[in-house]
Amino acid sequence: MQGMFAVELPPAPVLFTFPSMAESDDLSAAVGQFIVEAQTQSILRRGRFTVALSGGSMPKILAEALLGDDRVDWRRWEVFFADERLVPLDHPESTFSIYDKLIFSRVPIPAWQIHTIKALPELAEAQGAKKAAHKLAEDYEEQLSRSFPDCNGEDGIAGPPRFDLVLLGMGADGHCASLFPSHALLAERNYWVSPILDAPNPPSSRITFTLPVLSAARRLAFVCAGADKSLALGNALDSGLEEDDEQKVPAGRVILKGHPVVWFVDEEAARGVEYPRSEFWEE
């Protein structure tokens, strides 16, 4: 039949499973290798490595995966946070503060290449939490625009910033970044960064990348461990659930175009999940 065209389906997610992190460093070593490969390709092609990081257990996993690896070219890294809690930057629950203690303070990454939210206290005092949250999300989106000039449409390429790599965790409820199940933010398609004031996980006030930014990534990996993640993992990988199905957990709604979403999980999280396992290390 003339005029038929093949709809290009996104590549299926790839699932790598490893022994529990309590017993072995196989998972973090594989994550480190994956990051170094993405970094090398990005620097070769674009002279820098743009990364969006999650909080939770990710900082500790990345410290284990990357510290001491001399292949990591920190001076070329440009770091954003896929979500951040609206607390002062020196607060123990600030994702930036945790990364700074565990990683940034120990490696030669220029401070101006680590993009944090603006200081909060003054803003919140002056304008109240809601207005402050909107202002901080707006400012973070401006920081993105400045760091990703080609997403402003100047040279005809409009659309969300394309990170070289996004690293996400997943909650037991299937949330990623600060995109939580059944939340209106899952439908946000215009803004790249949104405030959320009713996050079910404390602290309740955050800013988060929206799905368009996560799904625009050149490479994206989830890293999750623990038996409490297996139900959400099964849901996220269930090809029978459409991306926009109400039942689909947020982590399952991140769909890349060029590359498969990659999952690095431990055997506890993968237990009972019916999905083909792939071998990370080539024989």
Ligand X SMILES: O=C(O)[C@H](O)[C@@H](O)[C@H](O)[C@H](O)COP(=O)(O)O
Contact between 177 and ligand X by CB under 6 A: the answer reads yes
* CA dist., res. 97 & res. 112, Å (int): 15
Contact between 251 and ligand X by CB under 6 A: the answer reads no
CB of 245 to ligand X, least distance (A): 21
Contact between 55 and ligand X by CB under 6 A: the answer reads yes
One of 32, 171, 234, 252 touching ligand X (CB under 6 A): 171
Q: Find the helix or strand (DSSP H, E) in which 17 lies.
A: strand 14-18
Contact 171, 232 (CB under 8 A): yes
Contact between 204 and ligand X by CB under 6 A: the answer reads no
CB of 109 to ligand X, least distance (A): 20
Asked if the bond preceding 203 is cis, omega within 30° of 0, the reply is yes
* CA dist., res. 161 & res. 20, Å (int): 34
Q: Tally Cβ neighbours within 10 Å of residue 151.
A: 18
The span of 124-132, 167-175, 234-242, 255-263 binding ligand X (CB under 6 A) equals: 167-175
The span of 15-23, 142-150, 164-172, 267-275 binding ligand X (CB under 6 A) equals: 164-172
Cβ-based nearer residue to ligand X, 125 or 228: 228
SS3 content of the chain, % helix, strand, coil (to 5): 35, 15, 45
Contact between 86 and ligand X by CB under 6 A: the answer reads no
* CA dist., res. 68 & res. 199, Å (int): 35
Distances (CA, A) of 165 to 38, 174, 246, 257: 7, 20, 27, 13
CB of 218 to ligand X, least distance (A): 20
Q: What is the dihedral of CA 121, 188, 39, 20, to 10 degrees?
A: 90
Contact between 30 and ligand X by CB under 6 A: the answer reads no
Cβ-based nearer residue to ligand X, 49 or 209: 209
Cβ-based nearer residue to ligand X, 109 or 269: 269
One of 26, 83, 141, 188 touching ligand X (CB under 6 A): 83
Q: Strand 49-53 relative to strand 165-168: parallel, antiparallel, unpaired?
A: parallel
* CA dist., res. 200 & res. 180, Å (int): 8
CB of 198 to ligand X, least distance (A): 15
For the chain, the maximum distance between any two Cα atoms, rounded to a whole number of angstroms, is 65
CB of 9 to ligand X, least distance (A): 27
CB of 236 to ligand X, least distance (A): 13
Q: DSSP class of residue 152? A: B
One of 13, 32, 56, 59 touching ligand X (CB under 6 A): 56
One of 66, 144, 166, 170 touching ligand X (CB under 6 A): 170
Residues that bind ligand X (CB under 6 A): 54-58, 83, 95, 169-171, 175-177, 224
